[in-house]
Amino acid sequence: MPLTIAPCRQLCDWVRTPGSYDGQPLLACRGCGSQWVRSEPWTPAQADGSRPYAVLEELRRPASPSSPSG
C-alpha cells in the first residue's frame, strides 16, 4: 500500500506511530494525515517550518537492517 501524502497546512504535527512501513518505523502528521518513513526522499516539516523532533530522531538512528541487537 502506498503512503498517504497530503499537502501540509498550518496544522502539521509529526509524531511516531505504532505502525511500520517497509520494515521501518512509520511517522505520521496529525494535522494533514501524511505519512513518512526515513527512506522517503523528502523530509516532513512542522507547521512552523522546523524539522519535527520525531523525524530528526528517526534520521539520526543508524540505518541498520532491522535487528536491534544492542
Give the footprint of Zn ion on this chain (CB under 5 A).
Answer: 8, 12, 29, 31-32, 34
C-beta closer to Zn ion: residue 12 or 27: 12
Beta carbon nearer to Zn ion, 25 or 45: 45
CB of 12 to Zn ion, least distance (A): 3
Rounded to a whole number of angstroms, the CA Rg of the chain reads: 12
Tell me the three state secondary structure of residue 16. Answer: strand
Nearer to Zn ion, 25 or 31 (CB): 31
Report CA-CA distances (Å) from 13 to 16, 19, 20: 10, 17, 18
